[in-house]
Chains A and B, each alone.
Chain A
Amino acid sequence: MHSEFAPPAPDTVPAPPAPGPTGLPVSMKIVVAGGYAVGKTTFVGTISEIEPLTTEADITVESLGVDFAGGVSTKTGTTVAMDFGRITLGPDMVLYLFGTPGQDRFLFLWDELVRGAVGGIVLVDTRRIEDCFPAVDYFEHLGIPFVVAVNLFNGVYRHHPREVREALAVPANVPVVLCDARNRLHVKETLVLLVEGALRRAQMAGAAV
Chain B
Amino acid sequence: MSWETGDHGTPEVRPAADLPRRTVVRPYMLTRGRTTSSLGVFELHAPVLALVVPGQLGRATPEDRMIVELCQTPMSVAELAARLHTPVGVVRVLVGDLVDARMVQVRQAGDRAEHRDVRLLERLLEGIRAL
Contact = CB atoms under 8 A, between A and B. Distances in A.
Contact of A5 (B35, B57, B105): B57
Nearest to B119: A202
Interface in B62-104: 64, 72, 74, 76, 78-79, 81-83, 87-90, 97-98, 100-101, 103
B61 A4 contact: yes
Contact of B109 (A16, A17, A27, A86): A27
B97 A24 contact: no
A5 B125 contact: no
Interface residues on A, range: 35 or more
A199 B78 contact: no
A15 to B, nearest CB: 10
A105 interface: no
Given A29-B115, A54-B82, A6 B58 contact: yes
Nearest to B110: A116
A113 B1 CA distance: 34
A203 B100 CA distance: 37
B107 A27 contact: yes
Given A4-B64, A24-B105, A27-B107, A53 B115 contact: no
Nearest to A83: B82
Given A28-B120, A29-B115, A73-B35, A57 B88 contact: yes
Contacts of A71: 33-34
Contacts of B50: 17, 19
Nearest to A7: B58
B19 interface: no
A84 B117 CA distance: 23
Nearest to B61: A4
Given A58-B89, A116-B43, A201-B116, 5 more contacts: A23-B105, A62-B87, A76-B28, A116-B109, A202-B118
Interface of B: 26-28, 33-35, 41, 43-47, 49-53, 56-61, 64, 72, 74, 76, 78-79, 81-83, 87-90, 97-98, 100-101, 103, 105-110, 114-118, 120-125, 127-131
16 contacts: A13-B56, A24-B106, A25-B107, A55-B79, A58-B90, A61-B28, A73-B35, A76-B87, A84-B79, A96-B44, A96-B76, A112-B44, A115-B43, A118-B121, A192-B128, A199-B121
